[in-house]
Amino acid sequence: MKNITPCLWFDGRAEEAAKFYTSIFKNSKIKEISRYTEAGTEVHGQPVGSVMVVSFEINGQEFTALNGGPLFKFTEAISFQVMCDSQEEVDYYWEKLGEGGDPQAQVCGWLKDKFGVSWQIVPIAAIEMTKGPDAQKSKRAMEAMMRMKKIDLAAMRRAAEQG
């Protein structure tokens, strides 16, 4: 078996989404764009020549963006985790991916981008704080994190140390 490639279903915005994502993540690129032809118009109903599929890559992970029409929408049941090494990375990805997204969908490191795709912006240090050897500190860090939208590592550390 080769790799598993996530396929994201869009309603006419596949190319826009692929360009958006590849502009945010380093080591990313659009690999190929294919277009609808006359073949199968009775099934797909898309204009001939419009973008059908965009293949793109983010940090070596391949993705497919499909313009499949309005039938399906994204939900939080599927999300992409962005594991961050620092608060600066958290801030960057939160700002970039959240631009134009749904502010009501932002909770505990989760956000929904302008296309409706859910992302988890996760600082690795937050995971370590919630699983530390001191159960009370870990509990306080977790309680603080659960009240946040964007994860704030300094606030989590302060909460963990208060006791």
Determine the pLDDT at residue 45.
83
Confidence of residue 163 (pLDDT cuts 50, 70, 90): low
Provide the mean pLDDT of the chain.
Answer: 95
- Overall average pLDDT of the 148-158 stretch: 96
Determine the pLDDT at residue 53.
98
Same domain for 12 and 82?
A: no
Same domain for 143 and 82?
A: yes
Instruction: Specify whether the CB–CB gap between 160 and 135 falls below 8 A.
Output: no
Same domain for 111 and 67?
A: no
Half-sphere exposure (Cβ direction) of 92: Cα atoms closer than 13 Å: 13
CATH number of the domain residue 161 falls in: 3.10.180.10
Same domain for 45 and 68?
A: yes
- Region for 70 from its dihedrals, namely left if φ exceeds 0, alpha if ψ lies in -120 to 50, beta otherwise: alpha
Q: How far apart, in whole angstroms, are the C-alpha atoms of residue 108 and residue 125?
A: 14
Q: Which residue has the higher pLDDT, 68 or 44?
A: 68
Same domain for 57 and 97?
A: no
Instruction: Specify whether the CB–CB gap between 54 and 32 falls below 8 A.
Output: yes
Q: Of the candidates 72, 100, 116, which is a domain's last residue?
A: 72
Q: Of the candidates 49, 72, 95, which is a domain's last residue?
A: 72
Confidence of residue 140 (pLDDT cuts 50, 70, 90): very high
Same domain for 99 and 161?
A: yes
Please list, in sequence order, all residues whose beta carbon lies within 8 angstroms of the beta carbon of residue 81, skipping any fewer than 6 positions away: 119, 120, 122
Residue 16: CB atoms within 10 Å: 15
pLDDT tens by residue, 31-44: 999 999 999 888 88
Q: State how many domains the chain has.
A: 2
pLDDT tens by residue, 13-28: 999 999 999 999 999 9
pLDDT tens by residue, 80-130: 999 999 999 999 999 999 999 999 888 899 999 999 999 999 999 999 999
Same domain for 47 and 91?
A: no
Q: Of the candidates 72, 99, 129, which is a domain's last residue?
A: 72
Could you tell me where the DSSP H helices lie in the chain?
A: 14-24, 41-44, 87-98, 124-130, 135-146, 153-161
Could you list the residue range(s) of the whole structural domain that residue 45 is in? 1-72
